[in-house]
């Protein structure tokens, strides 16, 4: 294995695993998609390293693997593994309820939510990552929030 | 931000999502990468295509539709239609009973009405399509979907097994799965009636009925190649099978006579089929076109005894090939040579006589909106029209002209 890739991968794997975990809600699926995305990156490492931001490349690969994965199998698991809260945040019940609500979202809607609220990407950038139009991103976000709204009585749709 | 936004942001940034890195992850990544590289060697065409987008074939009567950019006037009559929902990357199309079938990168198969240019059906076979080293049937380019016995098939991989899957052309559902005999398959060869398969160890060859997938013939190759064996084509009428692989002399293409129970090698020529993309194409008369860097040869088995003879190649085609960057394909019973320019902004598509390589017709291809032209070769067709699909556009070239009737 290329030494530079190994060094880079060692440094970034924790963040990438966490990212995939947020996207999938499932630890094993997260490990699998990260391994696949990193393996693909390794096959084209010289090009990626030279021209692109490797991190962005891998994160995009992870998102697309999650969305294009076996949707049927994903839907069979209505709730993923809910992580233990690390500290004592206010309202843990709310946090767990949000995780459970996220787990019920279809892969693409969840990806849009994660890219917007975790990665803080713009609509245009999300569209680029997902390979769809900004209009689709907007409609997926609206559908996701509408679903989440059903769990929380005071939820408002953000612009 | 609204209340929901705050709660979402908090939930997603919670430290509880952090995962430890499992031991051995880097080794697992390296192992998968090696496997992907091996798969990529099986289908260089799929891995080499990048940024394939809209291409407009120039025509005085071309409706540009959503392609954007004005077409340049030329002299061919043709249709082009843009398929929505196809995505930037796909393979195909395959022509069966007047409909086009395209496999999307995400595994969906779509059925297209070429008269309306619309997708009329979408299906998702439950398998991983395998990209073969050579086109499975003439004109299919390097893709996993093919036609044999009047049926639509896909070559795939599922639960650690190589298999062929027959799809219902109407519903696009899998109606039959035929697991191939144990082995690693770099591809298949399909004829109008049969599907041929050889494991990469080159020892046993199987012939399956093109309609049912039942094994109807078993052959032993004599002498066997060392490794990396792939079927290039089978000409049942001429009784010749062409293969590539590694012999004790290195990378070769070889011809074998089909006899009961055996495929007897009659001759081989040095040729590393992995170095040049889309350069090995059956000649339709039991011969083989084999291009390498700088030269294009045509081989045929000697009529009697063993050995291969070199056949003449049209001077114009030879020169075009020697200039570099060209690719060969087969569709509609015609040989096609595609040549993008150095900047991949334009290209020429030559329709050639199948046996001599003489140029019958030339088409000029121009990219829209400054995007690249790649994948210029037709992937399917008949004597009247052929189809090529470099991206979202599906282009139909039809006669009458000096190439297509």
The contacts of residue B232 (CB under 8 Å, 6+ apart) are B134, B189, B242, B243, B244, B253, B273, B280, B282, B288
Q: Does A118 touch chain B (CB under 8 A)?
A: yes
**Chain A residues closer than 8 Å to B4 by CB:** 145, 148-149, 152, 155-158
Residue B195: its H or E element: strand B194-199
Nearest by CB to residue B7, choosing from A22, A86, A98, is A98
The Cβ-side half-sphere exposure at A121, using a 13 Å CA radius, reads 21
Q: Does A112 touch chain B (CB under 8 A)?
A: no
Whether residue B400 is preceded by a cis peptide bond, meaning omega within 30 degrees of 0, is yes
B7 DSSP assignment: H
Q: What pLDDT, on a 0 to 100 scale, did the predictor assign at position A151?
A: 63
**Chain A residues closer than 8 Å to B391 by CB:** none
Residue B211: its H or E element: none
**Successive 10-residue mean pLDDT values, chain B, 405 residues:** 71 77 84 79 45 33 30 44 63 82 81 84 78 70 80 83 88 89 84 88 86 89 80 89 84 90 90 70 85 85 86 84 81 84 72 85 68 69 81 75 84
Q: Does B10 touch chain A (CB under 8 A)?
A: yes
* Domain B20-49+125-311 = CATH 2.40.128.630: yes
Q: What is the mean pLDDT of chain A?
A: 76
Q: Does B2 touch chain A (CB under 8 A)?
A: yes
Dig out the tokens for B236 from the structure: 């049942």
Measured between alpha carbons, how far is B265 from B42 in angstroms, rounded to an integer?
A: 23
Q: Does B39 touch chain A (CB under 8 A)?
A: no
pLDDT-derived band of residue A103, with 50, 70 and 90 as boundaries?
A: confident
Measured between alpha carbons, how far is A61 from A68 in angstroms, rounded to an integer?
A: 10
pLDDT, one tens digit per residue, over A32-86 is: 899 999 998 998 888 887 766 788 889 889 998 888 764 434 333 333 333 333 3
Three-class DSSP category at A120: coil
CA distances from A61 to A127, A145, B49, B357 (A): 14, 25, 17, 43
The Cβ-side half-sphere exposure at A156, using a 13 Å CA radius, reads 7
Check B29 against A38: CB less than 8 A apart: yes
Q: Does A114 touch chain B (CB under 8 A)?
A: yes
Q: What's phi and psi for B387, nearest 5 deg?
A: -125, 140
Q: What's the helix, strand, coil split of chain B in %, to 5?
A: 10, 45, 45
Which candidate, B204, B200, B193, B176, places its Cα nearest to that of B137? B193
Q: What is the pTM of this model?
A: 0.58
Dig out the tokens for B189 from the structure: 């060869």
Measured between alpha carbons, how far is B88 from A92 in angstroms, rounded to an integer?
A: 43
Domain spans of chain B, in order of start: 20-49+125-311, 51-92+315-405
| In contact, B99 and B9? CB cutoff 8 Å | no
CATH of domain A1-77: 1.10.1740
Measured between alpha carbons, how far is B94 from B139 in angstroms, rounded to an integer?
A: 9
In angstroms, the separation between the Cα of residue B381 and the nearest Cα of chain A is 30
The contacts of residue A49 (CB under 8 Å, 6+ apart) are A4, A5
Measured between alpha carbons, how far is B85 from B43 in angstroms, rounded to an integer?
A: 24
Residue of A nearest to B20 (CA): A14
| In contact, B374 and B325? CB cutoff 8 Å | no
Check B16 against A86: CB less than 8 A apart: yes
| In contact, B196 and B205? CB cutoff 8 Å | yes
Domain spans of chain A, in order of start: 1-77, 86-159
Q: What pLDDT, on a 0 to 100 scale, did the predictor assign at position A51?
A: 62
CATH of domain A86-159: 1.10.10.10
Residue B381: its H or E element: strand B380-381
**Chain B residues closer than 8 Å to A18 by CB:** 17-19
Domains A1-77 and A86-159 share a fold: no
H-only helix segments in A68-131: 71-76, 92-103, 107-117, 123-130
Q: What pLDDT, on a 0 to 100 scale, did the predictor assign at position A94?
A: 64
| In contact, B330 and B146? CB cutoff 8 Å | no
pLDDT, one tens digit per residue, over B351-403 is: 988 888 888 888 887 655 445 555 678 888 888 888 887 656 778 887 778 88
Q: What pLDDT, on a 0 to 100 scale, did the predictor assign at position B1?
A: 46
| In contact, B265 and B274? CB cutoff 8 Å | no
Q: Which of residues 22-51 of A touch B (CB under 8 A)?
A: 22, 27, 30-31, 35-36, 38-40, 42-43
Q: Does B3 touch chain A (CB under 8 A)?
A: yes
Q: Considering only the C-alpha atoms of chain B, give the largest distance between any 2 of them, rounded to a whole number of Å.
A: 84
SS (H, E, C) B70-120: CCCCCCCCEEEEECCCCCCCEEEEEEECCEEEEEECCCCEEEEECCCCEEE
Measured between alpha carbons, how far is A142 from A157 in angstroms, rounded to an integer?
A: 8
Residue of A nearest to B84 (CA): A132
Measured between alpha carbons, how far is A60 from B398 in angstroms, rounded to an integer?
A: 40
């Amino acid at each position: 294995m290329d030494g530079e890739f190994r060094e880079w991968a060692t440094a970034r794997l924790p963040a990438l695993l966490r990212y995939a975990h947020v996207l999938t809600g499932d630890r094993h699926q997260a490990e699998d998609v990260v391994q696949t995305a990193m393996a693909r990156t390794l096959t084209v490492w010289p090009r990626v390293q030279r021209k692109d931001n490797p991190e962005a490349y891998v994160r995009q690969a992870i998102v697309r693997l999650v969305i294009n994965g076996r949707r049927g199998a994903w839907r069979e698991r209505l709730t993923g593994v809910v992580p233990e809260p690390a500290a004592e945040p206010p309202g843990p019940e709310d946090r767990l309820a949000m995780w459970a609500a996220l787990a019920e979202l279809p892969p693409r809607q969840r990806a849009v939510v994660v890219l917007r609220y975790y990665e803080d990407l713009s609509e245009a950038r999300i569209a680029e990552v997902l390979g769809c139009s900004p209009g689709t991103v907007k409609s997926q976000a609206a559908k996701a929030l509408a679903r989440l709204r059903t769990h929380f009585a005071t939820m408002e749709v953000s612009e | 931000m609204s209340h929901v936004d705050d709660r979402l942001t908090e939930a997603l940034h919670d430290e509880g999502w952090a995962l430890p890195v499992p031991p051995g992850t880097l080794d697992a990544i390296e192992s998968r990468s090696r496997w992907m590289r091996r798969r990529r060697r099986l289908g260089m065409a799929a891995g080499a295509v990048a940024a394939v987008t809209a291409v407009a074939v120039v025509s005085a009567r071309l409706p540009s539709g959503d392609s954007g950019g004005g077409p340049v006037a030329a002299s061919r009559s043709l249709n082009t239609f843009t398929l929505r929902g196809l995505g930037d990357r796909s393979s195909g199309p395959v022509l069966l009973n007047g409909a086009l079938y395209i496999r999307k990168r995400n595994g969906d198969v779509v059925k297209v009405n070429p008269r309306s240019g619309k997708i009329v059906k979408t299906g998702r076979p439950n398998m991983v399509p395998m990209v073969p080293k050579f086109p499975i049937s003439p004109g299919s380019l390097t893709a996993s979907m093919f036609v044999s016995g009047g049926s639509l098939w896909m070559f795939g991989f599922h639960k650690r097994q190589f298999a062929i899957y027959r799809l219902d052309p109407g519903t696009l559902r899998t109606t039959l799965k035929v697991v191939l005999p144990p082995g690693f398959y770099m591809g298949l060869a399909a004829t109008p009636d049969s599907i041929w398969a050889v494991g990469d160890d080159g020892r046993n060859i199987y012939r399956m009925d093109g309609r049912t997938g039942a094994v109807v013939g078993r052959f032993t190759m004599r002498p066997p190649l060392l490794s990396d064996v792939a079927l290039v084509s089978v000409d049942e009428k001429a009784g010749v099978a062409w293969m590539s692989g590694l012999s004790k002399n290195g990378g070769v293409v070889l011809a074998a006579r089909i006899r009961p129970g055996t495929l007897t090698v009659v001759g081989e020529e040095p040729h590393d089929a992995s170095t040049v993309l889309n350069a090995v194409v059956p000649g339709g008369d039991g011969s083989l076109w084999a291009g390498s860097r700088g030269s294009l040869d045509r081989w045929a088995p000697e009529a009697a005894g063993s050995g291969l003879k070199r056949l003449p190649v049209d001077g114009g085609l030879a020169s075009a090939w020697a200039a570099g960057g060209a690719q060969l394909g087969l569709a509609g019973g015609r040989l096609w040579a595609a040549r993008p320019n150095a900047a991949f902004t334009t290209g020429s598509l030559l329709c050639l006589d199948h046996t001599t390589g003489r140029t019958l017709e030339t088409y000029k291809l121009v990219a829209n909106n400054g995007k690249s032209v790649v994948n210029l070769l037709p992937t399917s067709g008949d004597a009247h029209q052929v189809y090529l699909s470099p991206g979202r556009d599906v282009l139909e070239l039809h006669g009458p002209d000096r190439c297509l009737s």
